[in-house]
Structure 1
Amino acid sequence: MLKSGILAAAGAAIITAAVSTAALADITILAWPGGPAETALRKVVDTYNETSDSKAELLYFSRDNFFDKMLADSAAGSTEFDVMLTATYNVGKYAPFMNPIDDLITEDVLKVFPQSAIDSQAFDGKVYGIPMDLGLHFLYYRTDLIDELLSNDEWKAKYGEISEEYLGTKMEPKMPDAWTWDDFIASALFFTQSINPDSPVRYGTVLQMKNLLFNIMIWQGTAASYGGNWLDADGNITVDSDAYRKGLDIFKKITELEATPGDSNSYEYAEANGAFGTGQVAFFIQWSAAYAEFVNAEDYPAIADKFDITHQPAGPEGPKTHFHALGLGIN
């Protein structure tokens, strides 16, 4: 019943309604707290409870140290939860304390999830989770501001002056899907009022720099686009490299020139969304999950019908993004 419960909830991917309030659940699911992931899973669980003889309820730990607590509890043989979070980047850490679910990966499941998605939840040839969602990064930008920049000769001239002063090269504005990281920096400076008093928004961009794993994932696209990788072919750490120094320099320059809010070192997903959603930021890099939030005009009226998305800026290796899948597996 437990395995079929995961398949019904995750494999069918039905997302409708809100969480059960059953006092005694047959299945307790430890899940990732906050944001669209929690909202969606609550709806899945409610649908499951309405359509199944067994009942499920959700359990949440604090976002801070979530994975450390989940590891400690599962390693100690905790029975507090039956189903637990899996993630591409750490499924191997929890695999010794989980049940493989290869027998769930039927032809029907593969009609819903491609093999690559299933592989994202595997370790040492065994599958430990059913994928729930994919996380990757987009460049979100204000279409009205970019359209004006590309058509207004005075703005173009100012853009050239600012890029020449701060980057040493007189640059011309481009559509965001053609940006390099230098275009990203130049545009961030142009749309920052402390540098360009005529900017209609206060900041060019907003960086997420709280000391947090997920913020490193967002930043990773900078270094990767310059050829940076965490490890070489022999497993040696390679962060002491030109690619990683270049990635750091991009964020450093934007921060020092105050083209991101001054308290960005305390920002993660929610704070960055708030800054862009108020209409005071021209563009930023954010998780794909944010798109579903921003298209809700009632929640973000300041940017309603005024933004679009594209891939991250390119380095010599082209545009790159971190990506991973989150899923659910059996404790």
Structure 2
Amino acid sequence: MKTFVYEKADSPEAAVRDIDGEDARFIAGGTNLLDLMKLQVETPAKLIDISRLDLASIETRDDGGLTIGAMVPNSDLAADPRIIDGYEVLSRALLAGASGQLRNKASTGGNLLQRTRCYYFYDTASRCNKRSPGSGCDAIGGVNRILAVLGTSDQCIATHPSDMAVAMRALDATIVTLNRDGDRRRISIHDFYRLPGSTPHIETVLRQGELITHVELPKPPVGKQAYRKVRDRASYAFALVSVAAVVAIEDGKIASASLAFGGLGPMPWKDATVEAALVGQAPAPDVFAAAADALVAEAKGSGSNDFKIALARRTLIATLRDLTGA
């Protein structure tokens, strides 16, 4: 690990004021950043510690939704009665991620900004356009079993690793930020992440020095909720495929559906055509199969991750079957 300057911020405004260059980083729980620094994948010259900021509360808004501070630990968020009762898919996604010790430390804002777990990103001897733009991508044609089959480019096939962010996308979350000018932005999670294209090192729409302060959830959705995660072992493993689903049925037909997917793309994945294949239909195997076909219509394997395409179909169908009782 290289040497760096360490400062503690006493307010969000001070934090964004002190983040004075591209080589500076915010650090909260540090469960991802510190690993990257030890491997010299990330080499910040300055760390601004935001872990003591007053951003660790969960507030109920007048509209029935919730405002979640960026410093709320994953374990606290998963255990909050309002989350368990109204946003079960989020609680289940959080409990499916990492270990209890990591959930106690990992923050809500930091979870949204996790870097990929692609083997080549972590190996500084390998070519990686995300780590070193323009160097190439050894994952293409390499060991890519855990990597993406949707939304990839010829520059990068990395997956986004978060479970929480998948559920947040199914719930239509909004991310609130603060910049150095004191201005706040509200960014829909649907607009927050970027596809790799020719710039895989640019992963979100955050600007230099912009700080996530809160996440807003709309009022609890109507319908049943589920989070299904398929992984190589029962605990502490990233998703091969995951599905966050909220489905409502009225008069024997699917009235609404919100579906997001992990393990398949470079961001928490959502495709309106999947939901459109379900809404207005009576739950049935052929309807579920049509939705699954829509999900993988543009999927492209890279060799050892080809199996994910069939696995994604089966996982979605199983989730819909359990939610609807069909």
Give me the TM-score of the superposition, normalised by structure 2: 0.24
- Please state which structure has a larger fraction of its residues in helix: 1
- Larger RCO, structure (CA 8 Å, separation 6 or more): 1
Give me the TM-score of the superposition, normalised by structure 1: 0.24
